[in-house]
Structure 1
């Protein structure tokens, strides 16, 4: 079976450096990996197109600058973007397509696929290739995910991607959810893992075995929280299990070594205790830096913040909730 490798290093990885990737880093990364056989390189603010803000973090560069830089340095790999309705506008789709973006990922919380309808239809009306994305999918059953994925398919999505945004999955739950979608959905299904419990490679392999044909990986695992599936390891493991990816693993390894002085390679991505706790509780990995700051400011144990966020069913985009939770916990601790 052939697996398409999708690389969000320059988007999800932007979380790891507070959205500060430079145009030079984007340019060098794209040039280095362009000939390695990776299908899509995704670029942008960590929360996607239009998300640069005080609430989510101000990106070092405008969306258009990042995309134009990547476009100028990619000749073989396709250029992709991630967008969440509300942060992104319909007009952002037109801008992205005008720049030369070839793959649009339009994402929503795992039970709110209906929010993507007008965006997917707008993009498809312009002959764009669209992947409908469900985020924080550990929060929904396989059956509910099938219902939501069916909506994305009905809106015109060319593929469906499940994101384990909190790094909460294990191989069993990965196989259960992906295999049901593969069986019931008539378009390709993909998987995006985070490594909070150290299972990103195992889960990605389980997804491939379940029939997923789009798998995400980031160079050196560079991504939000504990990072994503490590791209070069993923490609080697898939080759070891005789999946076809089109990626030349040795060329990819050479690219990693050639980029030793830029953020995606020189910034270590490890499973810190905070990542482990957020993975156990099923809290979005992108919350890590916000929780760390709030815990320090309000002198609250980070674990308590993660626990409360899990109780509140906090989802990506609710970073403002972290401050209110930390403040409330600090007041509660002061009265004990």
Structure 2
């Protein structure tokens, strides 16, 4: 009987909510104090396990090149930390934008879960920073960006390196919203077979598949799924948090989230954070098809308008050249070349 009850117990899925980090991409990193406080308070009331905060590109990323945030890291961290009584506070950092000093500062402000990110074939750049996070006593995650640009076997090898470097959870970001569910299953299955730590999946909705892909990831073995309120995030947005939790509950998975209060948090996000909820417009769709970072939507539109060219052409050319986050300065160069051609 005990064995049968154990087998019938609902499988746990941990939800990681980057609404206040990835959502920054959708509003040019301009969320203010009251907006951060209001959403963090609502998410905390819903018992969302992890609430991630920061500039869209992470700690230390506020800059002229990719956008100045309305608030500095210190202010954002302090505001959200004060609003959280139940949820853990998470942060995200990509080496090159952030430094060890940024990590130490974030943990000193109460960050409990720290994501160290790298391009999908460059896990080696995370070793030092993952070690710093472990030394500081925070939970260390290692994640691979633009993961559609690497084969499943390569992603599994890279995730194994992240775990070797001290990551207590590892996983992949579908940064361009490029995946079909079969792609996700193949990659998550390869990663879960290669590591002994929880596996993460972070989806974007450029092809309208973010929730389906996140469910596919869970069924393939992932146990930490990222999702944002109303899908608030770069480009066409992220996996929609309240929809994902509702679907998981219907399927018999446990998230520990109060769905009724989560619906209130999603309403708060729509009313307080965003001009309009994310939609799959033509440009977002093309971004997903081309495999271009979803956060490029706004700068691509701005640049295409400035040069008088079609943003669809610009997206496809950026995809052909495999331009990635951090190479925003190339958007203008490519636009100029298209204009001359």
**2:304 alignment partner in structure 1:** 295
What's the CA shift string for 1:239-272, capped at 9, x where partnerless?
A: 11111111111111123334553014x5321001
**1:326 alignment partner in structure 2:** 335
1:221 maps to 2:231? yes
**2:4 alignment partner in structure 1:** none
Q: Is the 8 A contact 1:222 1:267 kept in 2?
A: no
The 5 A counterparts of 1:138-157 are: 138-157=148-167
1:161 maps to 2:171? yes
Q: Which runs of no fewer than 5 residues in structure 1 stay unpaired?
A: none
The 5 A counterparts of 1:90-239 are: 90-239=100-249
- Pairwise CA distance, 1:43: 0.5
CA distance in 1, matches of 2:201, 2:281: 23
62-71 or 266-275: bigger deviation: 266-275
CA distance in 2, matches of 1:125, 1:178: 28
- Pairwise CA distance, 1:122: 1.3
1:56 maps to 2:77? no
1:32 maps to 2:37? no
Q: Tell me which of 311, 315, 319 is aligned to 2:324.
A: 315
SS across alignment from 2:22? helix
CA distance in 2, matches of 1:175, 1:70: 34
What's the CA shift string for 1:14-40, capped at 9, x where partnerless?
A: 000000011110001111110212110
Q: Is the 8 A contact 2:116 2:130 kept in 1?
A: yes
SS across alignment from 2:45? coil
Q: Is the 8 A contact 2:114 2:139 kept in 1?
A: yes
CA distance in 2, matches of 1:257, 1:330: 43
- Could you say what the CA RMSD is over the residues aligned between the two structures, in angstroms? 0.9
**1:284 alignment partner in structure 2:** 293
SS across alignment from 2:127? helix
Q: Tell me which of 234, 247, 256 is aligned to 2:257.
A: 247
Change (3 A) 1:272 1:259: closer
CA distance in 1, matches of 2:19, 2:269: 13
Instruction: Count how many residue pairs are aligned between Structure 1 and Structure 2.
Output: 331
SS across alignment from 2:201? strand
**1:45 alignment partner in structure 2:** 55
Q: TM-score, normalised by structure 2?
A: 0.95
Q: Is the 8 A contact 2:38 2:268 kept in 1?
A: no
SS across alignment from 2:58? coil
CA distance in 2, matches of 1:135, 1:327: 27
**1:83 alignment partner in structure 2:** 93
